[in-house]
């Protein structure tokens, strides 16, 4: 199947599911299209059991899509940049200490708690997952997915302060989580040559180097944008910024997600504060909002369809059921110490609104083949589905209750 055919089928399916959701279900677009795609996948599985070959065709199609590569290489940079453009840097500066601690110390602590509890609980039911496997699962599932979080929180009607804290923490812990995951994966591949000092230097180089390069490329494009009044050139410059930065930083072995987030924060905020024409800001926001909505819909359709290739057994399903409260417990335990600083209302939204999405699935799918990978992929998918379909559909009520009670 040609690349054009894959993209055409995916966009057509996304458009039809989005229309059906808008016309009949009227759920949040991301959640609605994922739910319909998941039900469609289950229907295809049922048809496959009846002897029809529809499921086999669908699995072959998803094999051509290569979900992990599609997200990590093609989509993630655009989605992170679009999300970073909307974050108010002045609000972020007021809470930068808490946000930074949540994204770094909080993410690392959550990963360790998830790893320890997962290892203990799976052992109790006779399932085996190595300590490295548990750490990898903890690292990929602890960061909240900004693609899922920002889209849902924004439509839930959260206030500016709450929205900024939730969005910025999610954007930052997403980049940090990818660095943690890749560091653990690299350490597992070279166990005899891994030291604490080496791991620390790797983290600093990847995260710090990515942030510095993202700032430099963002500043360069900002200077160019100040001098143009042409919509096409503005769009081309920002597209080049995202793709060029992501490609360059990845090639240098640094954190491309962090680089793109920093570049997006700089363009979105410095452009508003320092002399960039108002029309330029409006044009860019309108364009990137459209890109964000389209890629969001495509991503959640892919998440829903991925059940067709998931290696699920009853034991995998049981492990996923066990992992769901573990992830929520770890999120709660790492956020409670910060609740007095951010406010109990904001803390409750951060806990329940800490959605997991396509990035976690993509990282799980990037693991080497084997039984450990199959188990990690299965429980990751279970947690992601619960996160989006249950937490995502109920977060609006929590936000409204928080606002109604006047909690911060």
Please check whether residue 352 is in contact with residue 148, taking contact to mean a CB–CB distance below 8 angstroms: no
∠ at Cα 225 (223, 226), nearest 5°? 70
**Mean pLDDT value across residues 67-93:** 83
Res 159: pLDDT: 65
Res 90: pLDDT: 74
Which of the given ranges, 7-21, 276-290, 339-353, has the highest pLDDT on average? 7-21
Structure tokens at 277: 């024409």
DSSP 367: S
Q: What is the mean pLDDT of the chain?
A: 85
Distance CA 50, CA 44 (A): 10
User: Taking 80 as the threshold, does the pLDDT of residue 52 lie above it?
Assistant: no
The fraction of the chain above a pLDDT of 90, given in percent, is 37
User: Taking 60 as the threshold, does the pLDDT of residue 273 lie above it?
Assistant: no
Structure tokens at 167: 């969005």
**Mean pLDDT value across residues 391-395:** 88
State the residue range of the domain holding 393: 1-408
Res 318: pLDDT: 94
How many C-beta atoms lie closer than 10 Å to residue 272's C-beta? 16
145-178 b/e (C-beta count within 10 Å ≥ 16 → b)? bbbbbbbbbeebebeebbbbbbbbbbbbbbbbbb
**Mean pLDDT value across residues 310-331:** 92
Res 386: pLDDT: 95
Please check whether residue 267 is in contact with residue 80, taking contact to mean a CB–CB distance below 8 angstroms: no
Q: Which residues contact 136 (CB under 8 A, 6 or more apart)?
A: 181, 184, 185, 188, 367, 376
How many distinct structural domains can be found in the chain?
A: 1
User: Taking 60 as the threshold, does the pLDDT of residue 199 lie above it?
Assistant: yes
* CATH number of the domain where residue 311 is located: 1.20.1530.20
Please check whether residue 217 is in contact with residue 245, taking contact to mean a CB–CB distance below 8 angstroms: yes
């Amino acid at each position: 199947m040609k690349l054009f055919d894959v993209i055409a089928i995916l966009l057509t399916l996304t458009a039809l599911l989005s229309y059906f959701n808008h016309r009949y279900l009227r759920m949040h677009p991301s959640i609605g299209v994922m739910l319909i795609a998941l039900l469609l996948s289950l229907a295809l599985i049922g048809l496959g059991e009846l002897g029809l070959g529809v499921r086999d065709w669908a699995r072959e199609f998803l094999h051509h899509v290569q979900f992990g590569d599609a997200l990590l290489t093609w989509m993630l940079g655009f989605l992170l940049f679009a999300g970073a453009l909307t974050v108010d840097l002045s609000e972020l500066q007021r809470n930068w200490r808490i946000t930074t601690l949540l994204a770094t110390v909080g993410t690392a602590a959550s990963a360790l708690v998830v790893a320890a509890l997962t290892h203990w609980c799976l052992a109790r039911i006779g399932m085996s997952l190595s300590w490295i496997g548990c750490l990898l699962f903890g690292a990929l599932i602890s960061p909240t997915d900004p693609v899922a979080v920002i889209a849902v929180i924004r439509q839930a009607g959260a206030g500016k302060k709450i929205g900024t804290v939730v969005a910025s923490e999610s954007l930052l812990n997403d980049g940090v989580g990818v660095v943690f995951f890749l560091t653990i994966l690299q350490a597992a591949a070279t166990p005899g040559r891994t030291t604490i000092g080496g791991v620390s230097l790797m983290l600093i180089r990847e995260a710090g180097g990515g942030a510095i390069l993202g700032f430099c490329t963002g500043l360069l494009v900002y200077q160019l944008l100040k001098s143009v009044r042409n919509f096409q050139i503005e769009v081309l410059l920002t597209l080049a910024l995202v793709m060029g930065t992501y490609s360059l930083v990845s090639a240098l072995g640094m954190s491309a997600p962090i680089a793109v987030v920093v570049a997006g924060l700089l363009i979105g905020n410095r452009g508003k504060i320092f002399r960039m024409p108002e029309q330029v800001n409006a044009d860019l926001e309108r364009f990137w909002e459209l890109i964000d909505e389209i890629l969001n819909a495509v991503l959640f359709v892919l998440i829903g369809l991925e059940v067709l290739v998931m290696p699920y057994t009853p034991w995998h399903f049981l492990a996923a059921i066990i992992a769901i409260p573990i992830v929520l417990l770890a999120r709660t335990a790492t956020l409670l110490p910060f609740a007095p600083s951010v406010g109990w209302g904001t803390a409750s939204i951060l806990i329940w609104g800490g959605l997991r999405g396509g990035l976690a699935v993509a990282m799980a799918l990037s693991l080497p083949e084997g039984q450990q990978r199959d188990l990690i992929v299965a429980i990751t998918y279970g947690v992601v589905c619960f996160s989006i379909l249950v937490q995502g559909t109920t977060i609006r009520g929590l936000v409204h209750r928080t606002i109604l009670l006047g909690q911060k």
